[in-house]
Structure 1
Amino acid sequence: MSMKNWSKTSYRNKTALQQPGWPDREQYEKVVRSLSALPPLVFAGEIRDLKARLAQVAAGRAFLLQGGDCSEEFARCTAPNIRETLKVLLQMAVILTYAGNKPVVKVGRIAGQYAKPRSSDTETVNGENIPSYRGDMANSIEATPEARVPNPERLLMGYHMSAATLNLLRAFTRGGFGSLHRVQAWNQKFVKQSPMGRNYERMAKRIGDAIKFMETIGIPTDTPQMREVQFFTSHEALFLGYEEALTREDSTEAGGWYDCSAHMLWIGDRTRQLDGAHVEFLSGVRNPLGIKVGPDHDPDTMLALIERLNPENEPGRITLITRFGAGVVEKHLPPLLRAVKRAGCHVIWTCDPMHANTFSAESGRKTRSFDDILSELQCFFELNWAEGTIPGGVHFELTGDNVTECIGGGRQLSAEQLNLRYLTTCDPRLNAEQSLEMAFQIAEMIRS
């Protein structure tokens, strides 16, 4: 479909996968209409700012850090939880900027990551077959048939939770919390006594000393660049009715349609069909777009998808988020790097080393190994260097909480310790200490 025939509802003529089976369509349509009348969560100007920064990433002049919860929960939309997630992302960004010598574009998986794709419509719990949990914006994690019935009122709740999260993030990042004068205050208590925490403290002290030196010789440090942080939001564009309702036409001279549910959206392995509803919808909005790429991809199809979503080959528009797994990244990534480079496509190459490295421990808990995550990242950088392409960013599922969900790291968390603080409702996340350790490792790769 050409752009002149695109509208924010044209996706309805296509097959839409991974949608909840809303039992009451009339109620669902009413909720979508209500969402359409509510204010946008983000603004077109902010989205354009992010795209301009991502164009710098594509050119190798900046680095993309994208991270946050695998699946946000309504019950955890609290000031402490939001603050701790922001803290660890700010810490990682400072490490990457200071130790890696490159500006960092900060994008959170936050304020909208309430929907999850699933491999099956149903699951068996305690011998009973019930609908799968599709994220808090669709149904409840509670494992009963009644709680798993999709409820469109949850879309409205997701909007309000996202608005509250964004309100707090803006207060933190523009009100002084994100100031470089406070880098030491971001270190969580449980991290401070760890090797990574002590490394961070030493780095933060050097930054503090540099700021004091600047003040001593009369260089102003109370500037927006020192006091404020640019922080952007992202989520998977999954529930299309919600995305449609928050898509607005820019009222400025720039014009165009923007999905104002988040600054950046991504499309997953399960919904990136060329003739599918998700690709149709995203082809018409001007947000930066991520595309998850797993082992089952076909390079020719990926080129066709990039062309469909970015026909003008605009830098900063497309981020390819590779997720192959430590054992097979060397098999799958080089042919894709070569095909995209040969076609002359402007893309950002990033690595999601989490998803394809998931396995079940003996206890039955899903987990990921720190060593596998790091191994895939190292291969990602080395393969990009070998092909003459730019390793532009990383994409993590992480939390600022002291969870025990991924094994390994500096403390050598074992599979037997997973039950200590295993809090995720979906996929295992790096905790704050593991995230900092990963950031120091990545900084070394960037500097190379």
Structure 2
Amino acid sequence: MRFVLHRNDSGYDAERTGFHLLSSHRPDLIVPAATPEEVRQAVARAAAESLPVAVQATGHGVPLPASGGLLITTGRMNAVTVDPATATARIEAGVRWDQVIAEAARHGLAPLSGSSPVVGAVSYTLGGGLGLLARRYGYAADQVRAVDVVTADAEHRHVTPGSDPDLFWALVGGRGNFGVATALEIGLVPVDRLYGGALYFGTDLVETALHTWRGWTGSLPDEMTSSIAVIPFPDIEQVPAPFRGRTVAHVRIAYTGDVAEGEELVRPLRAIGPRLVDTVGELPYTASAAIHNDPTEPAGYFATHSLLRELPPESLDALLGVRGVIEVRHLGGALAKPQGAPNSVGHRDAAYFAAVLSPGLAPGTDPRALRPVHEAVREALSPWATGGRVLNFLYGENAGPDEVRRAYEPADYERLTALKSRWDPANLFRLNHNIPPA
């Protein structure tokens, strides 16, 4: 290893701090890895010294923050190679989605990236990956072809569905529980343009927009992936003028079919009423970040969510009036139709994802004060909830053992704990969304 950072070293705080400012690791040691060999050496040292391991690329989905142990940061491992002949990409552990999008676009291809282009692509994918084209092409995890990983025995392995189907199944969906991924080979899809963008409605149309979108999703083709957020914007200069001081309904559209068909499909949404802003139209996939327009600067936030079997009109009452940002994503389509090599991503039968987010929290904020509001929403949605969770949307305190267990089907979770006993019996990789050994 080139160097190791200790707590009192210059650069320690900058290296450990990721995007999510509310949950920052405070390890004993940090290894800023630039090569797979440095990752292997870090794992070997952690095993020899009985130090639990955490891994961080961009730090968007930080689970329970680590106090002590060894943190491997992977942001320096950022190479992307696209093979247009096989429509695949090899992405290293620290790569962000914007890098993959740009490289794939040169060949008329796209990855199954998420709403934000600055999220780490590898951890996102190994946690499932619920992206912009989800109803058409499924989870990002379904496109994984191979995983390069350092396991707890400090061996660097190239794992494919053929070489070790059990370990591959556990890695793809188990996020960081079975080793430190140094690279993935992923499939790309033949999308260079889509019909998409955002419709923003003002405060007086929020309830109508929410109910109209709910009904609209009942008869959509798989080519249409959409979601809606209700966002209370503060009255400050940093907020764009049309949204300043207003509660806004933000409808997100990504349609991979014909533009004229997309126009016709979106017509009922435009009929809701005047839009504050309407950006829906034909756009290159390289501009797809504008659909959700997620923040790109580090921030503090606390969130909870539920997976729903259905979204009847009365379920929306639990969401309206919430203090915070609410979001509902339409699932189904290809998400419910497993494709590619088997993996451990669970709850494919869910029809909707509903979340509550409290943004703009200062570092050090105690999220427990927000928990009653979040739990009240989840309880109100319980008549329609599957009981499942999405691993990538479990942050901080909400990434505890019970919640992680709920991210998997019961039989799959038992299989994962058994495989954990085989591949990481000491639970070296436990500073994460942890799956303990059986």
Band of TM-score, shorter chain: under 0.3
What's the TM-score, normalizing by structure 1?
A: 0.26
Between the two structures, name the one with larger relative contact order (CA 8 Å, sep ≥ 6). Answer: 1
Q: Which has the larger helix fraction?
A: 1
What's the TM-score, normalizing by structure 2?
A: 0.26
Q: Which has the larger strand fraction?
A: 2
